[in-house]
Amino acid sequence: MLKAQRIRIALVLTGYAECLMETRPFSTSRLMFLFVVIWFSLASASAQLAVGFYSLSCPGAEFMVRNTVRSAASSDPSVPGKLLRLLFHDCFVEGCDASILIQGNGTEQSDPANRSLGGFSVINSAKRVLEIFCPGIVSCADILALAARDAVELTGGPAVQIPTGRRDGRISSISNVRPNIVDTGFTMDEMIRIFSSKGLSLEDLVVLSGAHTIGSAHCSSFSDRFRQDSTGKLTPIDTSLDRSFAKELIDRCPVAANPSITVSNDPQTSSSFDNQYFRNLIAHRGLFQSDSVLFSDSRTRRLVEDFANDQESFFASWTQSFMKLTSIGVKGDGKGEIRQSCSAVNI
């Protein structure tokens, strides 16, 4: 396998060399992508990840996942945001090994922070199709990573070619959740600590927070930004929050609101993966405290402004940071398994 990995890296390097020798101009994004793939190939050599990992064993794997995501999203526009969130909650706990998909008492799904997760049925549907055509070949971890990747592209975001070859973990414990995920009320220092522990930089933190350009959240996830006054009405705790936006949130999520009510993370373009999220932050219309702090903190304000003004720059950075996200704690040969069902470890 190490020999095969060296061959794949050599092929990427060859592609880079050919790119340099071309007489016609080539794009910065293309050159950046080659650098990212080279970095990823070297960084993940021990896990045996590779672009086109299933090209021989299951040639239609990525197409089948993409088709499943497209079909689900066409009938339920909330699917892309759910899949992207599901990937984050998986990769930050035990690495990108589909441990979040395992059902049962005491598993990661049991933690209150994960009870509002969605998109499980999409992953399970893709797995069922793949088990018909390629039994025992494609891991749930890869399905989840590919599905989240496709969710971004389907909503207008950049197309990212990610390596595959992840294996599924056998451990899923509720005790591992809280120490490893970012809460919506976190300070900048708390977020930096979590991201740093995953090998992600301050820029990655800002870029990946851009995932909030799609998806929605329950009222409870931002209720800490408001308090009840003496008359029982909600008022903003953070006075920097845009007044009209704060009123919209209070109207949508009054005291004793139905717990099933949700609010779009990005009310401007809730179904489009774009840079509107960063524009919202500048306008003091970030939904979570962990969003707003990205603009209020001097360490990240410049990046927010840059991405708000340049969507292409955000997309280029997203490609790099998403590749890093999907490489966290990957399990390769000798570690993990290929589950028969994504919701349970093999017996």
Instruction: Tell me which residues are annotated as active site.
Output: 89
Sign of the CA dihedral with 23 first, then 27, 29, and 30 last: negative
Residue found under tokens 């089948």? 64
Q: Is 122 annotated as a binding residue?
A: no
| Residue in this structure with the two tokens 């990046």, named with its chain if needed | 303
| Main-chain dihedrals φ then ψ at residue 239, nearest 5 degrees | -70, -10
Backbone angles phi, psi at 275, to 5 degrees: -100, 15
Q: Is 97 annotated as ligand-binding? A: yes
| Region for 19 from its dihedrals, namely left if φ exceeds 0, alpha if ψ lies in -120 to 50, beta otherwise | alpha
Per DSSP, 2 falls in state H
Using CA atoms, how far apart are residues 73 and 255, in angstroms rounded to an integer? Answer: 32
> What does the alpha-carbon distance between residue 257 and residue 217 come to, in Å, rounded to a whole number?
13
> What percent of the chain is helix, strand and coil (3-state, nearest 5)?
55, 5, 40
- Is 90 annotated in a binding site? The answer is yes
Q: Does the annotation place 333 within a ligand binding site?
A: no
Q: Are 343 and 124 in contact (CB under 8 A)?
A: yes
Element containing residue 235 per DSSP (H, E): strand 234-236
Take residue 23 and report the two structure tokens written for it.
């007489």
Q: Are 78 and 116 in contact (CB under 8 A)?
A: no
Does 274 belong to an annotated binding site? Answer: yes
Spatial CA neighbour of 208 closest among 113, 123, 307: 307
Question: Is 269 annotated to bind ligand?
Answer: yes
Binding site: residue ranges?
90, 93, 95, 97, 99, 108, 212-213, 266, 269, 274
Query: Known binding site for heme b: residues?
Result: 212
Q: Which residues are annotated as a binding site for Ca(2+)?
A: 90, 93, 95, 97, 99, 108, 213, 266, 269, 274
